[in-house]
Structures are given as structure tokens and as C-alpha cells.
A = this chain, B = another copy of it.
Amino acid sequence: MTTSSVDQQIRSRLGDAGVRYTTGRQRVTSALVASDGPRSAAELQTQLGSAIPLSSLYRSLAVMASAGVLAPHHGSQGVTRYELAEWLSGHHHHLVCIDCGSVDDIELPDALEATLHELVDTVADEGHFVALGHALEVEGRCKACK
């Protein structure tokens, strides 16, 4: 199996930050690439068959997040879920299940995304701050809870 393009981008970015892309970390990112939404440390550990101890897992997630490869998402019960950063996975938004707390990615059609972006810039201008990013969270029920 050939190393994917995303994998090479990650390796490059981590290298620039002096962070090693070990096999354990590759397993983490490939699990996230295969996911359709953010994953918590516990979820990843299960997904990876308990192969990685929690302490290492948390450290790797933190290191890769501060290197800009992963993006954290704070959910209910104090659980932090991670997903690929936007420059790797593309800009998208989240559907948060009000029952189980799971998070699915949703994408906005380009036209709507453009509208939203303008909207955020307008708000930022009026509030005299710089918008460095934005996230739209839609609350609903996931397929499992519907």
C-alpha cells in the first residue's frame, strides 16, 4: 500500500516542527483519516485495538495538534475529540448529536460557505476583532439516536 498524499503532508509538517512521525502516530492519523468526524483518545484506543497506551496517545494527539496537524474539538463530559486540521481535510462543519454527543462532519455547498464566510467577516469588522476561524455547529440527532 502506497503512502497517501495526506500522510506525506503530515510527515512534512511534523518534520518542520521537529516532531517525529512514528508508526504509532501514523496509526493514529490513519484512523482519523478513515473517520467521518472527530475522535476522542478513548475512541481511538478502541479503534486501534488498545495497541497504544493512553499516555502515549494523549501525548501524540497534543504534539500533533500543536504542530497544526490535528484540530481539537471540545465536547460534553469534558471529552476532547481530534480530527485532521482543515488544511488537510478541507473546511467543514459539525453535526453534534444532542443525545449521545457524537460529532459528524458536514459540508456546506460552496455558495453557502462563501456566504457564511462573508457573514463572519462582517461580524468581526463590526466587533473590531480579527476572525481567525469559524465553526458552525448544527445540533440534531445522529443516525443512531434518531
Instruction: State the A residues within 8 Å of B (CB).
Output: 72, 74-76, 78-80, 93, 95, 98, 106, 108-109, 112, 115-116, 119-120, 122-124, 126-127, 129-142, 146
Contacts and interface: CB of A to CB of B under 8 A. Distances in A.
In the complex, the count of this chain's copies comes to: 2
A109 B120 CA distance: 11
Nearest to A134: B138
A138 B131 contact: yes
Given A74-B75, A74-B78, A134-B139, 19 more contacts: A74-B74, A74-B76, A76-B80, A98-B132, A106-B127, A108-B123, A109-B122, A112-B119, A115-B115, A115-B119, A120-B136, A124-B138, A124-B140, A129-B140, A130-B140, A133-B139, A135-B136, A135-B137, A137-B137
For the complex of A and B, 5 pairs with smallest distance between CB atoms: A78-B78, A133-B139, A74-B74, A129-B140, A135-B137
